[in-house]
Structure 1
Amino acid sequence: MAEGPPDRNKSKKLSEAKRQNTNALIASNLRGYYESIVEEGTPSHLLDLLERLHVAEEEAKSRKP
């Protein structure tokens, strides 16, 4: 037995295609956003902070008996 009238099956296929197109659009937008963030790089003040943290950790390790 068929899964309903042919129009309903066509509607399901269109709905699935629309969902896939929407998902593809979302994925494309997220990819573009991610790439723009990566291209910006890490701000210098954050790199400085990470370097100071690294130095502080190394000093703490060297003080331990």
Structure 2
Amino acid sequence: MKYFNYVLILLGTTVSIYAKAGADQNQFLLIGGIVVLMVGIYRLSKTIPSKKKGENDTENKERG
């Protein structure tokens, strides 16, 4: 499933670049590519774990 997110990101990037490269831009193709790109990034970011609460506390104590 992780690789599917990377495929979405690459597909969205490729479609967006292709839609932007032509002299006669297709706005719907560009918007579709950006949407696919953002969906891939969103799905990938959901799999990144958040910091533990203890790590944040020690960082705050060291700073101030």
Q: Using CA pairs below 8 Å that are at least 6 residues apart, which structure has the higher relative contact order? A: 2
**TM-score above 0.5:** no
What is the TM-score with the length of structure 1 in the denominator? Answer: 0.39
- Name the one with the larger helix percent: 1
Greater Rg over alpha carbons, structure: 1
What is the TM-score with the length of structure 2 in the denominator? Answer: 0.39
